[in-house]
Structure 1
Amino acid sequence: MKLQLKYYVFLTLTIAFSFSEIKAQNKVLILGIDGCRPDALLAAKTPHLDNLWKNGAYSFKAKTDDLSWSGVCWTGMLTGVWKDKHKVMGNQYLNPNIKEYPHFFNLAKQQQPDLRTYSIANWSPVHKILQYNDATVVKHKPTDGLVTKSVVKTLKNEDVDVMFVHLDNVDHAGHKYGYAIDNSKYIKSIEKTDKKIGRIVKALQKRKNYANENWLILVSTDHGGSGTNHGKAIPEHTTIFYIASGKDVEKGEIKKQVYVIDVAVTALKHLNIDLKEAWNLDGNVSGLK
């Protein structure tokens, strides 16, 4: 009887230890806020974004492409290379070089083909560099409200490994009213977007298996702006923000120069993807321990 009891205790402790040794699965959520100047973000009342950067790694002096158009910059963010390689020179995506420099989803799937990847965007051209396959769900949503609703639903019901989210209302406000920290309508659009970010992060944290998931949240933008436009190689257009939040980040301001192309590379690193030299990526890992 005593031997049986000892065996039972040993077995119970062994199982408990084994479960404690299970490493949480690394996952990535990228939140892209189109046309959001970093100085305007700091001027706005954004409690949800503040919580991410104040408890994470951040730079409000990051740089995007000197040709600061959305197509160029989102492609740099999602491929990890500059325009001389990805070949997207504007918003038309005329001849993207996705064969040599594909969307990072596809690089990740070379090593982990079962990854469940999602791209949910307001501005649908961002998907023109995304090679379609059965493991990728692509959704085009015409408003930030519908994007947010779709993201919340997906995080609640699906087994997500990687997700890219594109929100566009801040850029709309910049084009309509002007990209400026003293423009109340531009600032208000950032504050409204922050509320949507809050809904998304809350949905993430309420996932059924969240305790066994190790999420890295990356938040950035494609470009800034001045007046009612962007596209020039000037600081107001090319200075962006970069936020990394999660258990594996080195908290505090990132001292080195951060670039828009670091987003894809950092995401790949967190997913435990071996960064192949043959991929010839330009970005670097930013904000992780």
Structure 2
Amino acid sequence: MKFQFKYYSLIALVAIVSFGQLQAQNKVLIIGIDGTRPDALLAARTPNLDQLWENGAYSFKAKTDDLSWSGVCWTSMLTGVWKEKHNVYGNGYENPNTEEYPHFFNLARQQQPDLRTYSIINWSPIHKILNNNDATVMKHKLTDGLVTKSVSKTLRNEDVDVMFVHLDNVDHAGHSTGFTPDNPKYIKAIEKSDKNIGKILKSLKKRKNYANENWLILVSTDHGGSGTNHGEATPEHTTIFYIASGKDVKKGEIQKQVYITDVAVTALKHLEIAIKDEWQLDGNVSGLK
């Protein structure tokens, strides 16, 4: 693994301390729960997610790409642009246009090269748009439990600035038994994801410097579904949820239309990255004050 560190001059540090406490460092944790319909999320027992949205900003009417395949939608989330720009039209990632429209980690590090960025995922194709020098990459397959353990360990022990986490078991349940809120197995998978998120949040709060950190937590999904599939431009497939939690969030339901592309842009804003017109981002900041 490659780690990078920030250095502060003694003079600058003394100057900051002389005026009081150190300014809290803005950091971002993004959690993606693959294939989770908003109506099913609301039907499930999810105390950890409930605490985030009930005390944060949220939309259960957000929209993903009308071509609701995982590859398309995760790329839209992480680049902040639609498929017509990032050029991912399926799960094969045949010819992604990451040179013009890169992962938002890359954009952030153009201005803050020392950012510690982590991507810890279950479904490995997500990393096809991420150069290895853009982040510390950790890949896991088959179980969200392994992802959760790795995320928890990293948050407790490493100097993380921004992290993307991908959980996949809800999507597996949808494909095998049905994407519907009246399917007990699908609901159970959502509830298990909530428990994993609870473990992640507990580890986040155990960070040594947590009191001096200003975390924005964003939770969303790539698509919904119906029957045992997705990919269509129907409300059941394209309606997603969006949750933003943290000190800088404007609490309550977000009144404007929220899109999956808003995730990257909102993360950049919280990281205090100046968003350039030349990036041609399609998303907007959602949920912040």
Q: 1:19 deviation in Å?
A: 3.1
Structure number with larger C-alpha Rg: 1
Q: How does 1:37-76 map to 2 (within 5 A)?
A: 37-76=37-76
Q: Which residue of 1 aligns with 2:96?
A: 96
Q: 1:18 deviation in Å?
A: 2.2
For 1:172 and 1:136, the matched residues in 2 are separated by 27
Q: Which residue of 1 aligns with 2:4?
A: none
Q: 1:190 deviation in Å?
A: 0.2
For 1:200 and 1:75, the matched residues in 2 are separated by 23
Moved more, 215-224 or 136-145: 136-145
Q: Which residue of 2 aligns with 1:139?
A: 138
Secondary structure of the structure 2 residue equivalent to 1:19:
coil
Q: 1:16 deviation in Å?
A: 6.7
For 2:27 and 2:36, the matched residues in 1 are separated by 25
What's the RMSD between the two structures over aligned residues?
1.1
Q: 1:158 deviation in Å?
A: 0.3
Contiguous gaps of at least 5 residues in structure 2? 1-14
Q: 1:23 deviation in Å?
A: 1.3
Change (3 A) 1:171 1:15: closer
Counterpart residue identity of residue 84, structure 1: E
Q: Which residue of 2 aligns with 1:18?
A: 19
Identity of aligned residues (%): 78
Secondary structure of the structure 1 residue equivalent to 2:19:
helix
Q: Which residue of 1 aligns with 2:78?
A: 78
Q: Which residue of 1 aligns with 2:156?
A: 156
Secondary structure of the structure 1 residue equivalent to 2:132:
coil
Deviation per CA, 1:51-98, whole angstroms, max 9, x where unpaired? Answer: 000000000000000000000000000000000000000000000000
Change (3 A) 1:15 1:172: closer
Q: Which residue of 2 aligns with 1:109?
A: 109
Deviation per CA, 1:170-221, whole angstroms, max 9, x where unpaired? Answer: 0000000000010000000000000000000110011000000000000000
For 2:38 and 2:174, the matched residues in 1 are separated by 13
For 1:114 and 1:68, the matched residues in 2 are separated by 34
Structure 1 consecutive aligned stretches of length 4 or more whose deviation exceeds 6 Å: none
For 1:34 and 1:149, the matched residues in 2 are separated by 18
Q: Which residue of 1 aligns with 2:10?
A: none
Secondary structure of the structure 1 residue equivalent to 2:201:
helix
For 1:72 and 1:130, the matched residues in 2 are separated by 14
For 1:66 and 1:86, the matched residues in 2 are separated by 15
Change (3 A) 1:156 1:255: same
Q: 1:128 deviation in Å?
A: 0.3
For 1:37 and 1:77, the matched residues in 2 are separated by 16
Counterpart residue identity of residue 219, structure 1: V
Contiguous gaps of at least 5 residues in structure 1? 1-13
Q: How does 1:227-266 map to 2 (within 5 A)?
A: 227-266=227-266
For 1:15 and 1:46, the matched residues in 2 are separated by 41
Q: Given the two structures, how large is their TM-score scaled by the length of structure 1?
A: 0.93
- Does 2:209 align with 1:213? no
Secondary structure of the structure 2 residue equivalent to 1:138:
strand
For 2:41 and 2:172, the matched residues in 1 are separated by 15
Q: 1:15 deviation in Å?
A: 8.5
Counterpart residue identity of residue 288, structure 2: L
Q: Which residue of 2 aligns with 1:6?
A: none
Q: Given the two structures, how large is their TM-score scaled by the length of structure 2?
A: 0.93
For 2:39 and 2:18, the matched residues in 1 are separated by 48
Q: Which residue of 1 aligns with 2:8?
A: none
